[in-house]
Chains A and B, each alone.
Chain A
Amino acid sequence: MNKGKYRSIAWIIISLMVVIGIAYPLFTPYNAGDYSFPASLHPTAVHLLGTDEMGHDLFSQLLAGFRVTIGIALSAAFLATLLGTVLAVLGAYYQGLVYAIITRLSELFLIVPEIVVLLFFAAIAQPRVYNSVLAIAFFSWSKVTRILQARAALAVNSEKVQYTLLLKGGLVDTLRKIWGDIYPAVSTLFIFQVSKATVYESTLAFFGIGDPLAVSWGRIIRMALDYPGVFRDGVYIWYLLPPIICISVFVVILSMLAFESE
């Protein structure tokens, strides 16, 4: 009954978070890298979430985290969805051996635990933001491919595509024809991948791997947990909980949206 209303509220929250990520320098009180403030302050009107043990303003760091985390999640999800879609369509178009190889590969990435591949990749590559994006995209494509393959095969076998093929239509023509059929699934998978990629990015930061200069939500959580006094005097309320809440809200809303349109 109220589903449309919930949906638009959910989209407004997500868009707001993305806008904060883009425009946070406009309203951030301090530079996120500035550690000239007194250390371990409790929240005041000047420092909304207090400061950390090094003297960073935590509210500014949290705002900067919007850009890092959401940026990495969006780019990784885009890459993964693109690669996964292309492979699924390739498999459906060429069929036979190509299809078999793509299926086997995507299943291989399902069998090997994702976190092992993720940490493996990130630990070996240089700790840069783009390597985190590559590491996440590297094993995420398989989920997109697995789900899209059946749909793409169905679409390729439909009459209009068979007609295109009959007229010697190439791969690009086929893709253009079936795009309308697979687009809803692709967009749902993209939303789902964004939420997954957010979790993976936080995971990398949480394990202390990934760009040490990029202050993401996961990194703030890691720093909070490394700070010995975090569970005394309720420090965790303004240090640990805000990034946890940001991640949870972003991820939960996105996956509800993906489930909804499924």
Chain B
Amino acid sequence: MKPIIKEFSRVVLYLGLIVILSFVLPRVIPGSPLFTAGMDTYALNSRLPQETFNAFRDYYAPDRSILEQLGLYLKNLSRLNLGESFYYHMPVLDIIKARIGWTLSLSIISIAFSSLLGIPWGLNTALRKKRFGSPWVTIMMLVQSIPVFVVAVVAQLLFCFQLGLLPSSGAYTPGLEYSAGEIMREVALHSLLPLLVLIAVELPPVFIITHNVCLKTMEEPYVQMARFNNIGPRLFKYRYVLRNSLPEILSKLNIQFLYAISGVIFVEAIFSYPGVGLLLKNAALSRDYPLLQGILLITGVYGLSINCIFNGLIKKTAPRLAANE
């Protein structure tokens, strides 16, 4: 019972911190229209339509004291009111809700694939330990350090523009009418390349982490002992090496998959995939503060939920660790 309360209070704490961050950030960044109390609303006022400007003023209330602003922000949040977008002239929450499904599916599918491929591969490579180490480790390290957008741009160049194999942008071809079967095919075809790029980016860290942690576990005395005792290879591999490496692998993957959210956002922006990434790009380009703030909040909550899932998994695989905490 107690660990659950502890985890719950942790989640509440981080939720609070994310909300505070999203409140403070637009107010402390130099050059922000919310930077000063006597802010220069004139520039914004002349740029935005009157209605949007009024919505902005009602939501942020920049002329009130900072505590009143915070109170107003919390009150709005409790009613799930994230403000109105400058650019789309729609409630921020509705816009994000319409897009988040694409992002979640890309993110979860790519995490699942890279784990299912990377963990067994890393484990097997570690077991077939060579004297000078596997060349794959070096190759994967090289791949890992190439920036995500370079991978995405080169893949787009190669598969879409040079070979013309796959569609270069969007999640489906707009303006056509589809039957249910066709739309599935369209969506699958359009998401293939973004998914492949994401897997290419997420797989190397999974492989390297698993490989290194398993190598370390194999040095442990009880694993060495198991080897001398001629424990069967299957049992040795799963019960001794993998089972004991799992908590550390998971806690490192936790961080990797938090970074992977950024990767998804990138890839979406480049392939014009209609998820939160494309939304973020447009919001940043059009300086759409309420939408930026909403995206920060929602992606923060998503990051927190991934973090929670992994913490749960780690506790499941390492009861001893959990008891010690």
Q: Which residues of A contact B (CB under 8 A)?
A: 104-105, 107-108, 110-117, 119-126, 131, 134, 195, 199, 202-203, 206-209, 221, 225, 231, 236, 240, 244, 247-248, 251-252, 254-256, 259
Contact = CB atoms under 8 A, between A and B. Distances in A.
Given A203-B149, A256-B142, 16 more contacts: A111-B258, A111-B307, A113-B300, A119-B281, A123-B287, A124-B25, A124-B289, A202-B147, A203-B147, A225-B153, A231-B157, A231-B161, A248-B147, A251-B146, A256-B145, A259-B141
A259 B137 CA distance: 12
B304 interface: yes
B53 to A, nearest CB: 17
Contacts of B136: none
B13 A120 contact: no
Interface of B: 13-14, 17-18, 21, 25-26, 29-32, 141-142, 144-150, 153-154, 157, 161-162, 255, 258-259, 261-262, 265-266, 269, 280-281, 283-285, 287, 289, 292-293, 295-296, 299-300, 303-304, 307
20 contacts: A104-B13, A110-B258, A113-B299, A113-B303, A114-B259, A116-B262, A120-B292, A123-B284, A123-B285, A125-B29, A126-B30, A203-B147, A207-B269, A207-B284, A236-B157, A240-B157, A255-B141, A255-B144, A256-B145, A259-B141
B161 A209 contact: no
Contact of B142 (A131, A199, A252): A252
A125 B30 CA distance: 6
Given A115-B265, A124-B292, A207 B32 contact: no
Contact of B280 (A116, A121, A131, A134): A116
B284 A113 contact: no
Nearest to B162: A231
Contacts of B296: 112, 116-117, 120
A108 B14 contact: yes
Contact of B18 (A108, A195, A259): A108
Contacts of B161: 231
A105 B281 CA distance: 26
Contact of B30 (A117, A119, A131): A131
A251 B300 contact: no
A248 B266 contact: no
Given A111-B300, A113-B262, A256 B17 contact: no
Contacts of A114: 259, 262
- Closest 5 interchain pairs by CB? A255-B145, A123-B284, A126-B31, A115-B262, A111-B303
A111 B18 contact: yes
Contact of B300 (A112, A236, A240, A248): A112
B297 to A, nearest CB: 9
A124 B287 CA distance: 7
Nearest to B305: A111
A39 to B, nearest CB: 22
Contact of B265 (A113, A206, A256): A113
Contacts of A112: 18, 21, 296, 299-300, 303
Contacts of A110: 255, 258, 303
B183 to A, nearest CB: 29
B261 A113 contact: yes
A252 B145 contact: yes
A111 B284 contact: no
A111 B304 contact: yes
A255 to B, nearest CB: 4
B265 A251 contact: no
Contacts of B265: 113, 115-116
A108 B295 contact: no
B147 A247 contact: yes
A119 B303 contact: no
Contacts of B25: 117, 120-121, 124
Residue among A105, A119, A225, A252 with max Cβ neighbours from chain B (10 Å): A119
A221 B147 CA distance: 13
B8 to A, nearest CB: 16
A179 B261 CA distance: 35
A148 to B, nearest CB: 16
A223 B98 CA distance: 31
Residue among A121, A126, A195, A221 with max Cβ neighbours from chain B (10 Å): A121
B280 A119 contact: yes
B171 to A, nearest CB: 20
Contacts of B148: 199
A119 B283 CA distance: 9
A226 B144 CA distance: 27
Given A124-B31, A231-B157, A256-B145, A116 B259 contact: no
A248 B17 CA distance: 36
A105 B20 CA distance: 12
A107 B255 CA distance: 10
Nearest to A108: B17
Nearest to B254: A110
Residue among B145, B258, B287 with max Cβ neighbours from chain A (10 Å): B145
Residue among B25, B147, B303 with max Cβ neighbours from chain A (10 Å): B147
